[in-house]
Amino acid sequence: MTAPRRGSTSLAAFQREWRALKGTSYEPAEVLHEVPLVVLFGPRQARRLFLVTKQALLSRIYEEALAFPPHWAIVQRQGLPSQMHVEEVGALSRRLQLPLHFIGDLAPFDLHVFLEYHRLARTRATRPTWRGISGRWLQLCRKLVGPEPFDVSIAQDMSPVERRHFAALQASAPWLEGALGSGPWNLLRAGKKLPLEAASGAGFYGDGFHRRLVRLLDASP
């Protein structure tokens, strides 16, 4: 791993600060073991395996499409994983012989969640790839949002603690830029974030958005 840039906060240093924030409005720095890991299987042989952090996205897709693609397998769990969570998801990936596609908020916390699934994976084959919120997903949102600038009307400003969190991730794991792609990374670097709730929803993007999103995700390599 590349050394942190001079003047930047290391991830370890930020995590000490993060643990001291317990009880505040920021996401918890510890694994919440009471949060369930939910697995959904379609009626056909799985050809796509997704790890989704937010139930809200799945609910919106289901409300519009009334079903998930029959060849999707979906793991849903919010928050930081333990070694056991990562091993269970990895075992499912190996059993299905499918790569794991991660879908989470375009925000420092879910970026850290992605990093933990990557770091704790036993083998390279079970490390997740970032599939959302991706550059193509952002392009779809920008196309449909209307005349207002997307970064003003939809994307949200990071809080000061989120800015420090992203700076620590950027310094300690610079490979994340390549994993996300330039579009999502540049949004984060500008101090913006995009929760899944803001990157989905017919109220923002009109009827039919989630069907288009499903087709985009299904085309993942």
**pLDDT values of the chain reduced to their tens digit, one per residue, 221 residues:** 333 344 356 898 999 999 998 767 889 999 999 999 999 999 999 999 999 999 999 999 998 888 899 999 999 999 999 999 999 999 999 999 999 999 999 999 999 999 999 999 988 889 999 998 999 999 998 888 876 677 767 899 999 999 999 999 999 999 999 999 999 999 999 999 999 999 998 777 888 899 999 999 998 66
Instruction: Tell me if the bond preceding 133 is cis, omega within 30° of 0.
Output: yes
* Domain count along the chain: 1
Structure tokens at 82: 């333990």
What is the span of the domain harbouring residue 104? 11-218
Q: Is residue 5 part of a domain?
A: no
Q: Is residue 66 part of a domain?
A: yes
Q: What is the CATH number of the domain that holds 114?
A: 3.40.1360
Find out whether 160 and 195 touch, Cβ atoms under 8 Å: no
Q: Is residue 143 part of a domain?
A: yes
Q: Is residue 88 part of a domain?
A: yes
pTM recorded for the entire structure:
0.91
